[in-house]
Amino acid sequence: DGGITQSPKYLFRKEGQNVTLSCEQNLNHDAMYWYRQDPGQGLRLIYYSQIVNDFQKGDIAEGYSVSREKKESFPLTVTSAQKNPTAFYLCASSNRDLDNEQFFGPGTRLTVL
C-alpha cells in the first residue's frame, strides 16, 4: 500500500533534549512538508522540501531542523532551542509536478516533560 508513515505515534522527551521525528513515504512524491498543530488550532508550516538535498523554512522554522538525503525520507529534529515543543506534528507529501493535494501521515504527538 502506498502512503506516508510517521513514527513514533507518541514521543516523550525531557526538556533540553533534541528529538527526531521520522517521516517516510512510498508515493514517489518529490515534495514533502512538516506541520505543527497545537490544540484547537490549524496547521502551521515548519519546513518543506521540493526536491532531494534541498529544503526551505516555513512560517515557524525556529528551533527545528530537517534533512532530505533521500526522496522517501524527511526527518524533523526538534532542538532544545524550540521554546514550546509539545505539539502534534504532521508530515505530508505531494507530486510537485502537478497542482495536486497534499497527502498526510498519521502524525506524531510529542510531549516534552
Partner 1 sequence: AQTVTQSQPEMSVQEAETVTLSCTYDTSESNYYLFWYKQPPSRQMILVIRQEAYKQQNATENRFSVNFQKAAKSFSLKISDSQLGDTAMYFCAFMKQYAGNMLTFGGGTRLMVKP
Which residue ranges make up the site for partner 1 (CB under 8 A)? 31, 33, 40-45, 48, 50, 88, 90, 92, 94-96, 99-104, 106-107
CA distance 53 to 76: 14
CA 74 vs. chain centroid, Å, equals 7
Please, what is the minimum distance in Å from the beta carbon of residue 96 to partner 1? Answer: 6
Strand arrangement of the beta sheet that strand 76-78 belongs to: 4-7, 19-25, 76-78, 64-66
Please, what is the minimum distance in Å from the beta carbon of residue 24 to partner 1? Answer: 16
Q: Which is nearer to partner 1, 72 or 79 (CB)?
A: 72
Q: Which is nearer to partner 1, 79 or 109 (CB)?
A: 109
Q: Which is nearer to partner 1, 11 or 31 (CB)?
A: 31
Quick check: helix, strand or coil at residue 1? coil
If you ran DSSP here, which 8-state letter would residue 98 be given? S
